[in-house]
Chain A
Amino acid sequence: MVVFTYDKTFEGLLTALFEAYYYKIFPDLLWAEQEPLPLFYDRVIPVYTDEEKSKRVWQGLQKKLSRGGLSFLTITWLSELADVDMLLFRYMRKNIDSPQSIELNFGDPDVLKISQIWKKVNQEKHRLLQFTRFQKTADDIFFAVFEPRYNVLPLTTPHFQNRFSDQKWLLYDVKRKYGYYYDLSEVTEVYFSSETTPFQNGKLSEEYLAADEKLFQQLWKQYFKSIAIRERLNPKLHRQNMPARFWKYLTEKQD
């Protein structure tokens, strides 16, 4: 069994593909550098991420794949699933080896799997656009917290930047401990050190909130309650459309 070790970055994966074709040795397993090696293996080949090599692979893929096919690669990568790197490796290899692109061959299990993961990641991104709830702070920053299943925060910033271009906002991923702050001109990546975290369970402490924030939260909760038709209650559909894992951060679901 051939094991490639690399630094678990997307560029690293592309470099691994380059090395594989260069040495004509293909890995059975892609392994993170710092992890202890698996129990059985024949050969370990360390891959050192190289910008030049990864760029060449990407340019090669650009010639073969459509823009949709390329977004399949990057978006699937953001799923951060355990064996997504091997899956992507096989997918890219199949595309390189076949005379024309196979991105539409959904009869192929890898292509289908990737399209399914792609769909899930996109869905998670969409859920973020749906279920983000901003709280207005005393210094006029609109602040929201969430913990998405996949690492989709970077995919959502263009939407928020376009929609809320005249207000300062901060989106924070508690699970991955990073966020984006928009200061009316550009978006920058931000971190809270654990001592200064101004929120608990996604709720900002009272002292930071704007004066009318409580009132609008109350109004929204009232609206949420009033708009439901009691004759048609359907808790199953409710949970299906708005999964319980999001409730923690939804204003209307808190009391």
Chain B
Amino acid sequence: MNEAVLEKLKILAESAKYDVSCASSGTSRRNTSSGIGSATGWGICHSFAEDGRCISLLKIMLTNHCIYDCAYCINRRSNDLKRATFSVTELVNLTIEFYRRNYIEGLFLSSGVVRNPDYTMERLVRVAKELRLNHRYNGYIHLKSIPGASRELINEAGLYADRLSVNIEIPNEQSLQLLAPDKNFQSVFTPMRYIRQGILENLEDRKKFRKVPRFAPAGQSTQMIIGASPDQDKDILHLSSALYQRPTLKRVYYSGFVPVNEYDPRLPALKQPPLVRENRLYQADWLMRFYHFKAEEIANEAYPDLDLEIDPKLAWALRHPEKFPVDINKADYEMILRVPGIGVKSAKLILVSRRYGKLGSQQLQKMGIVLKKARYFITCQELPYQTIQEIHPDQVRKILTNKNTGRKREDPRQLKLQFEDD
């Protein structure tokens, strides 16, 4: 360890930062005697970078040399930037020392492709292997599977890593071919299939023999870049929903495109990364995973793109006024979940609490329901509000998107009549 490592760390962290995945959850491993580290089920964020994103893993590349020339990638072959390569020992030591100081929860290792996919993959696997076997390290390891790597190497990677991931990057095959001529969907989906098969076979084996070592217990994840190609939100969400339906895929990450290679005419000229759109996509993703929404309910032919002004749940509610108001004291869980302003936690709180007595708006507010939003969509014990049935959805939208500057706060006791031209 010396000053040279500092320079390498700088270069390779800069190269790795556009990969958004940083989860350290989904696996639980206790420390072994004389070993180091553990993995808690939900993962811990040890720091937050100045862009507000969590730093849970040492997110780093083994090397940023690459034989590919993908238009959206900062490490593309034709870019003139500083290149560096870690040796396996350097990286292993760095991980262990950071881990011992409680800086990180584990390692997220990715790499540019050097020589060929198998050569690169083999080096990634060696890092994980050394950590697990020589250092008895039990913390989290996330390995990137290199598209085109052989099945044997992916199987070996699964034995040491908690999570494996392959990035789709561009949600549409034609666009992918245009931007990354060396890649196609097959090169992405084949390793995904290998990982899936590895995990499922391992689950079968573990049913028979308890001592079988686990294979990538935290499943796999993938990432899509948003805004680098002309794809619509409905296509993106349909692809994610199809991916989630296959077993073992835990997360799809959306990464707002940061224009790193501005000179490339194949890319759109963006002033700023599409942060709001990225946020809306995550919200839609959450609706699919935790709120039992289907992709076509969120975005479809009639509404191909998500509304940037309001969140997708509210947008759905405004398109379906016939489903509301929902009676908090009677409705089932599924329907309560669909009310804007009520999250999974508060929906569950409502469910257990209403056995003891009817709930009123005061109690709802204290439980953490956003009444400002929810009031138009619910009825409860008392609630003299006008709901979406009395006010037109367009009016509700207007009220909720109205940015009150706070200069003239309205008195909540004052009954307000809604007029069309208001």
Instruction: Pick the contact of A242: B9, B35, B47 (CB < 8 A).
Output: B47
- Please tell me if A112 contacts chain B, counting CB pairs below 8 Å: yes
- Please tell me if A54 contacts chain B, counting CB pairs below 8 Å: no
User: Of residues 14 to 57 in B, which have CB atoms within 8 Å of A's CB atoms?
Assistant: 14, 16-18, 30-31, 33-38, 40, 44-55
- Please tell me if B246 contacts chain A, counting CB pairs below 8 Å: no
Shortest Cβ distance from A252 into B: residue: B47
Instruction: Pick the contact of B50: A108, A142, A164, A238 (CB < 8 A).
Output: A238
Shortest Cβ distance from A112 into B: residue: B366
- Complex contact B45–A104 (CB within 8 A): no
Shortest Cβ distance from B7 into A: residue: A222
- Complex contact A218–B6 (CB within 8 A): yes
CA–CA, A112 and B16, complex, Å: 44
Interface size on B, residues (CB 8 A): 57
- Complex contact A106–B349 (CB within 8 A): yes
CA–CA, A215 and B35, complex, Å: 24
Residues of chain B contacted by A63 (CB below 8 angstroms): none
Shortest beta-carbon distance from A181 to chain B in Å: 16
Binds A, one of B282-290, B312-320, B351-359: B351-359
- Complex contact A107–B31 (CB within 8 A): no
- Please tell me if B144 contacts chain A, counting CB pairs below 8 Å: no
- Complex contact B10–A232 (CB within 8 A): no
- Complex contact A226–B352 (CB within 8 A): no
Residues of chain B contacted by A104 (CB below 8 angstroms): 352-353, 355-356
Residues of chain B contacted by A234 (CB below 8 angstroms): 50-52
Instruction: Report if A166-B35 is in contact (Cβ < 8 Å); known contacts: A126-B44, A133-B102.
Output: yes
- Please tell me if A163 contacts chain B, counting CB pairs below 8 Å: yes
- Complex contact A232–B356 (CB within 8 A): no
- Complex contact B353–A226 (CB within 8 A): no
Shortest beta-carbon distance from A118 to chain B in Å: 13
CA–CA, A162 and B357, complex, Å: 43
Instruction: Pick the contact of A107: B94, B272, B359 (CB < 8 A).
Output: B359
| Chain B 330-359 interface mask (CB, 8 Å, partner A; 1/0) | 000000000000000000010011111101
User: Of residues 94 to 108 in B, which have CB atoms within 8 Å of A's CB atoms?
Assistant: 94, 97-98, 100-103
- Complex contact A163–B47 (CB within 8 A): no
- Please tell me if B280 contacts chain A, counting CB pairs below 8 Å: no
User: Of residues 218 to 233 in A, which have CB atoms within 8 Å of B's CB atoms?
Assistant: 218-220, 222-224, 226-233
- Complex contact A130–B103 (CB within 8 A): no
Instruction: Pick the contact of A162: B38, B49, B349 (CB < 8 A).
Output: B38
- Complex contact A229–B35 (CB within 8 A): no
Instruction: Pick the contact of A227: B1, B34, B59 (CB < 8 A).
Output: B59
- Complex contact B18–A216 (CB within 8 A): no
CA–CA, A144 and B2, complex, Å: 24
- Please tell me if B58 contacts chain A, counting CB pairs below 8 Å: yes
Residues of chain A contacted by B101 (CB below 8 angstroms): 133-136, 142, 216, 220, 251
Instruction: Pick the contact of B51: A132, A166, A222, A228 (CB < 8 A).
Output: A228
User: Of residues 148 to 180 in A, which have CB atoms within 8 Å of B's CB atoms?
Assistant: 159, 162-167
CA–CA, A162 and B273, complex, Å: 41
CA–CA, A163 and B185, complex, Å: 40
Residues of chain A contacted by B356 (CB below 8 angstroms): 102, 104-105, 107-108
- Please tell me if B258 contacts chain A, counting CB pairs below 8 Å: yes
Instruction: Pick the contact of A216: B14, B97, B355 (CB < 8 A).
Output: B97
Instruction: Pick the contact of B30: A136, A162, A235 (CB < 8 A).
Output: A162
- Complex contact B97–A226 (CB within 8 A): no
- Please tell me if A241 contacts chain B, counting CB pairs below 8 Å: yes
- Please tell me if B275 contacts chain A, counting CB pairs below 8 Å: yes
Residues of chain B contacted by A231 (CB below 8 angstroms): 258, 272-273
CA–CA, A233 and B37, complex, Å: 32
Instruction: Pick the contact of B17: A212, A229, A233, A235 (CB < 8 A).
Output: A229
- Please tell me if A131 contacts chain B, counting CB pairs below 8 Å: yes
Residues of chain B contacted by A164 (CB below 8 angstroms): 36-37, 100, 102
- Please tell me if B400 contacts chain A, counting CB pairs below 8 Å: no
Residues of chain A contacted by B40 (CB below 8 angstroms): 159
- Complex contact B46–A130 (CB within 8 A): yes
Instruction: Pick the contact of A229: B9, B18, B44, B47 (CB < 8 A).
Output: B18
Shortest beta-carbon distance from B64 to chain A in Å: 12
CA–CA, A227 and B97, complex, Å: 18
- Please tell me if A129 contacts chain B, counting CB pairs below 8 Å: yes
Instruction: Report if A163-B366 is in contact (Cβ < 8 Å); known contacts: A107-B359, A142-B100.
Output: no
- Please tell me if B396 contacts chain A, counting CB pairs below 8 Å: no
A-B contact pairs, 14 of them (CB 8 A): A105-B355, A106-B349, A107-B354, A107-B356, A109-B366, A131-B46, A134-B100, A220-B103, A222-B6, A229-B53, A232-B51, A234-B50, A234-B52, A242-B48
Q: With A219-B5, A220-B98, A234-B51 given, can you name 18 additional A-B contacts, CB distance below 8 Å?
A: A104-B353, A104-B356, A106-B349, A107-B354, A112-B363, A112-B367, A165-B35, A219-B6, A223-B9, A223-B13, A227-B13, A228-B49, A232-B52, A234-B50, A241-B45, A241-B54, A251-B103, A252-B47
Top-10 shortest CB links A-B: A237-B52, A226-B13, A234-B52, A228-B49, A105-B356, A241-B48, A106-B353, A232-B51, A242-B48, A104-B352
Q: State the B residues within 8 Å of A (CB).
A: 1-2, 5-6, 9-10, 13-14, 16-18, 30-31, 33-38, 40, 44-55, 58-59, 94, 97-98, 100-103, 256, 258, 272-273, 275, 349, 352-357, 359, 363, 366-367
